[in-house]
Structure 1
């Protein structure tokens, strides 16, 4: 899902965001991966060679990117917020052994009938998390 530099810059500008080095780096990092990293993992990646950003800056960048719809928060485990640049509707698989997370295409699962839910609820969407053991942990 890696995008060329100019495409990332134009995407940020289309969302009327200033293209700061940190915002660019956070968004580019998320676009380059499919493992749904935490903010701490992103910070570690970006500061791997030399400190370039603080934890507060990473959280601010993530919040801004989420607010404009470029990324989404994924809550697949208690107390751990992860981030995903794939904002298209999809589900997730989570390995109970190693914690790996993978996308499941939306159409891979049958549509869920929500008509039997509490009629007072205003449902705006849903996603499914499938739990199990990944191929690597089964080996």
Structure 2
């Protein structure tokens, strides 16, 4: 556990971030999760053990982490911003029934040729979102 804490501190420092208790807690929380939480979900989880965090603190910590490339925003549903500490290329599966979100490895799908877009469009990156029913909702 101490080794993981030291690794988080070193990662934050290596990105030029000041290590604050709140920034550390937000990043550690995201690293321990695969559910792509919202700000409110992060806040609820952190305040269970550390009841001094505010929504504004979570937002500012996430912004700092995002700016240095340690977390990314994931927009999988209209009006809801989720966060992910897995910043490597990957896709997402969203269950339409329970709302669960799961990472899908990048090489699951064939590469999309971005240079094949119509003239005038220059694609930089892409991400596939698959919507369906997970095996917990439909254990067939």
Band of TM-score, shorter chain: over 0.9
**TM-score w.r.t. length of structure 2:** 0.94
Structure 1 stretches of 4+ moved >2 Å: 113-116
The alignment partner of 2:114 has SS state of coil
- Matched residues, number: 137
**TM-score w.r.t. length of structure 1:** 0.94
Tell me the residue number matched to 1:105: 105
1:54-84: CA deviation from partner (whole Å, max 9, x where unpaired): 1000000001100100000000000000000
1:80-121: CA deviation from partner (whole Å, max 9, x where unpaired): 000000000000000000110000000111111334323212
Does the alignment pair 1:14 with 2:14? yes
Tell me the residue number matched to 1:87: 87
Matches of 2:122 and 2:57, distance apart in 1: 34
RMSD of aligned residue pairs (Cα, Å): 1.2
Any stretches of 5+ residues in structure 1 without a counterpart? none
Any stretches of 5+ residues in structure 2 without a counterpart? none
Tell me the residue number matched to 2:74: 74
